């Protein structure tokens, strides 16, 4: 189902300004109050990880510029790098056309994945041979 707020803005001219608080208030958080977040390295454009945010973690990220996610397993806010030192500093943030996904570009310090790999997407699928190859060594 299309988000009416975002759908009504599909034809806006390039460089039209909207209030951040208004746009955030219309984001499509799911039944658990969460929205998916894709985190990308600002320099290489490599997708580092996928995680979730609630409204509070999104607000904290915008205020502190430190990537703050919602940990579904621990049921609490999680500041990336708080314990590992592998921090992500927010450079830019975008919302998709439906208002149901967030894209954050970051400056990554150290590996992004908890396994010690540069990113969380290290299971590469070979469609032709129907195999999956593990790519990238873990440093932990």
Residue the block writes with tokens 């621990």? 74
Domains and CATH numbers, the chain: 4-110 (3.10.20.810)
Task: Measure the CA–CA gap between 96 and 35, rounded to whole angstroms.
Answer: 11
Task: With a cut of 80, say whether residue 2 has pLDDT above it.
Answer: no
The closest of 12, 56, 42, 46 to 122, measured between CA atoms, is 46
List pLDDT tens digits, range 72-106: 999 999 999 999 999 999 999 999 999 999 999 99
Assigned token pair, 105 = 């570009």
Q: What is the distance between the alpha carbons of residues 2 and 128, in angstroms, rounded to a whole number?
A: 35
What is residue 58's predicted lDDT score, i.e. its pLDDT? 98
Burial of 15 from C-beta contacts in 10 A (0-12 / 13-18 / 19+): exposed
Q: Please tell me the predicted confidence (pLDDT) of residue 1.
A: 62
């Amino acid at each position: 189902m299309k988000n009416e707020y975002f759908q009504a803005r599909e034809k806006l001219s390039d460089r039209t300004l909207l209030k951040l608080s208004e746009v955030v208030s219309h984001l499509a958080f799911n039944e658990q109050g969460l929205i998916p977040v894709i985190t990308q390295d600002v320099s290489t454009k490599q997708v580092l990880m996928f995680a979730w945010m609630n409204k509070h973690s999104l607000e904290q990220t915008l205020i502190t510029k430190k990537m703050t996610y919602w940990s579904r397993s621990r049921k609490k806010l999680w500041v990336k790098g708080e314990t590992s030192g592998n921090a992500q500093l927010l450079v830019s943030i975008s919302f998709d056309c439906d208002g149901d996904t967030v894209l954050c570009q970051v400056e990554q310090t150290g590996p992004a994945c908890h396994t010690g790999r540069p990113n969380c997407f290290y299971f590469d699928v070979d469609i032709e041979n129907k195999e999956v190859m593990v790519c990238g060594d873990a440093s932990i």
